Chains A and B, each alone.
Chain A
Amino acid sequence: MASVTVAIAVDIHEKRYPGRARAEPVTALRNLQARVAPSEFCVITGPSGCGKTTLLNIVAGLDRDFAGTLSFAPSDGGVPRIGYVFQSPRLLPWRTVRENIALVRPRHADRTELEGLLTDVGVADMADAYPAQLSGGMARRAALARAFAIAPDLLLMDEPFLSLDAAAADRLRRLLLRLVSARPATVLFVTHDLAEAVELADRVLVVSPAPGRVVAEMPIVLPRDRRRDCNTLAALRTELTRLAGHPIEAPDTAKITFSRRNSLTPTKE
């Protein structure tokens, strides 16, 4: 099945969470506009709590309670097929890995294609295991496989490599790039890790602290092999911070990024 990638136009006037019990109502997003081109890898970054997940849920159609518009093009194909990789793997614990992935596919879909995907993603050996038996990295691979299993037009990813050790996250990022180049899809990827954003993106959007709106955007045109360089990253961070007008990473995440960068870049003379 040839997948048709889609363009997205989001125009959110306002998204509020109503106050419950003692909690005050919160405005998560205000005046947020974003356009994503077909087959573009668009990374959304911003401080914790700026409404990134809310934005993905709106695009996924899980949250319709907002003021604004959301449209996909080409619109004649109806709603696009959306593969969603959540912040936690969200596998069904009572189904094996293979069953979890087969579940989202059409009932009479090709079995060999499914086995091929399991192998590509590296979960073939664990296909008959239940999610509780998987390591964190394996569970995230399975979640990734599930998203690709429907040949998505649009891939939504919400910090999919969070809480993995640096090496595992790195392997999964390479896997993701390989999968996307083999099966093109429009990608909307949320992270608060700038190094990750820069490594993956065709374009980075920076969202402000709540109420979130897009305060900066920058196409990343560097070849992928040069993006992991410390100096390039530092320059990009400075430039994005200037465009955004505020620090774009929370202090605690900056620390994580720092140690990760050190461990990953053996660029000593």
Chain B
Amino acid sequence: MARFRVAIAERTASLLVLLVAWEAAARWARSRLFPGPGSVLTTIADEAVHGGLLHDLGATLSRVAVAFALAMIIGTVLGIAMARSRAIDTLLDSSIVLLLNLPALVIAVLLYIWLGLTEAAAIAAVTFSKLPTVVVTLREGARTLDRDLADMAQSFRLGFWRTFRHVTLPQLSPFFLVASRTGLALIWKIVLVVELLGRPDGIGYAIQVFFQLFDVRRLIAYSLAFVAVVLAVEWGVLQPLERRLARWRR
């Protein structure tokens, strides 16, 4: 607990350094295009209550959630299938390599052209950008599944679901976590580009609008709110999950 308090103190100190430096730079610049932390923070509060911040944040987050879930589910199924079957692996491998190296921007533009400027196209673009890393990671994980434990599950007749839940999933969980983390980091960045290109709401759309208005105060306010949510998910969801899954390790 003491170590936890020290960590909080350190974090607060480094945040203070950042804020002071920012404030000093803003005072020195004295420009509408370089607002200080005070005015940005009040803008965040103001936009949250009266403006569209919460709506845009909600739109972006729901896109992230849906695309993340889709990519994880499809990627896990494909990854396991490719690890299990040489035929499937051979058939899909080139597509995965291509998708892995295709810039997210290209995927987004093409999908908007083919599917129109729709929600489906936006979510598909984010999903496809993340999918190949999930497939590759989970394929790696599924290749290392323990044959002995599978035999144990079969001889004790655990059945498909109990085997999947108690024997297979825990072995895949480290790979699942890696895929979640790298995938989420990727999604946070791609979703804004996708919104900027062809959506009428969301943080990415807002940033485009503020860019055109040269409204730097709001631009930074929206970005910071977004970063705060990303960090909250990282610290509030992923890290506790990771600790929970690693409980059994000595």
Question: Whole-angstrom distance between the alpha carbons of A60 and B170 in the complex?
Answer: 25
CB of A83 to closest CB in B, whole Å:
8
Closest partner residue, chain B, to A130 (CB atom): B248
Question: Whole-angstrom distance between the alpha carbons of A86 and B248 in the complex?
Answer: 22
Q: A103-B162, A103-B166 are in contact. Are A94 and B248 (CB under 8 A)?
A: yes
**Structural contact, B148 and A86, CB atoms closer than 8 A:** yes
Question: Whole-angstrom distance between the alpha carbons of A61 and B149 in the complex?
Answer: 15
Contacts of B158 in A (CB 8 A): 103-104
Question: Whole-angstrom distance between the alpha carbons of A95 and B173 in the complex?
Answer: 14
Q: A86-B148, A88-B148 are in contact. Are A95 and B154 (CB under 8 A)?
A: no
CB of A82 to closest CB in B, whole Å:
6
**Structural contact, B250 and A130, CB atoms closer than 8 A:** yes
For residue B152, CB closer than 8 A to chain A, the reply is: yes
Chain A window 170-201, contacts with chain B (Cβ cutoff 8 Å), 1 for yes, 0 for no: 00000000000000000000000000000000
Q: In A61-118, which residues have CB < 8 Å from any B CB?
A: 61-62, 82-84, 86, 88, 90, 92-95, 103-104
- Interface size classification for chain B: 10 to 19
The one of A86, A88, A94, A132 that contacts B170, using a Cβ cutoff of 8 Å: A94
**Structural contact, B155 and A92, CB atoms closer than 8 A:** no
For residue A133, CB closer than 8 A to chain B, the reply is: yes
Q: In B147-177, which residues have CB < 8 Å from any A CB?
A: 148-149, 151-152, 154-156, 158, 162, 166-167, 170
CB of B150 to closest CB in A, whole Å:
9
For residue A150, CB closer than 8 A to chain B, the reply is: yes
The one of B149, B151, B247 that contacts A92, using a Cβ cutoff of 8 Å: B149
Closest partner residue, chain B, to A147 (CB atom): B156
Contacts of A130 in B (CB 8 A): 248, 250
CB of B133 to closest CB in A, whole Å:
25
**Structural contact, A82 and B155, CB atoms closer than 8 A:** yes
**Structural contact, A132 and B166, CB atoms closer than 8 A:** no
Chain B window 70-92, contacts with chain A (Cβ cutoff 8 Å), 1 for yes, 0 for no: 00000000000000000000000
**Structural contact, A93 and B166, CB atoms closer than 8 A:** no
Closest partner residue, chain A, to B249 (CB atom): A132
Contacts of B152 in A (CB 8 A): 84, 86, 90
- Interface size classification for chain A: 20 to 34
Question: Whole-angstrom distance between the alpha carbons of A103 and B159 in the complex?
Answer: 11
CB of A132 to closest CB in B, whole Å:
4
**Structural contact, B156 and A150, CB atoms closer than 8 A:** yes
Question: Whole-angstrom distance between the alpha carbons of A136 and B106 in the complex?
Answer: 56
Contacts of B151 in A (CB 8 A): 57, 62, 86, 90
Question: Whole-angstrom distance between the alpha carbons of A90 and B153 in the complex?
Answer: 10
CB of A151 to closest CB in B, whole Å:
12
**Which of B151, B166, B167, B248 has the most chain A CB atoms inside 10 A of its CB?**
B248
CB of A106 to closest CB in B, whole Å:
10
Q: A95-B248, A132-B248, A132-B249 are in contact. Are A62 and B167 (CB under 8 A)?
A: no
Q: In B124-155, which residues have CB < 8 Å from any A CB?
A: 148-149, 151-152, 154-155
28 residue pairs of the A-B complex, CB under 8 angstroms, read A57-B151, A60-B155, A61-B154, A62-B151, A62-B154, A82-B156, A84-B152, A84-B155, A84-B156, A86-B148, A86-B152, A90-B148, A90-B151, A92-B166, A92-B170, A94-B247, A94-B248, A95-B170, A95-B248, A103-B158, A103-B162, A104-B156, A104-B158, A132-B248, A132-B249, A132-B250, A133-B250, A146-B156
A residues apposed to B, CB below 8 Å:
57, 60-62, 82-84, 86, 88, 90, 92-95, 103-104, 130, 132-133, 146, 150, 156
B residues apposed to A, CB below 8 Å:
148-149, 151-152, 154-156, 158, 162, 166-167, 170, 247-250
- Extra 19 A-B pairs, beta carbons < 8 Å, given A82-B155, A95-B170, A104-B156: A60-B155, A61-B154, A62-B151, A62-B155, A82-B156, A83-B156, A84-B156, A86-B152, A90-B148, A90-B151, A92-B149, A92-B166, A92-B167, A93-B248, A94-B247, A103-B158, A103-B166, A130-B248, A132-B248
In the A-B complex, the 5 residue pairs with the smallest Cβ-Cβ separation, listed nearest first, are: A94-B170, A94-B248, A104-B156, A84-B155, A132-B250
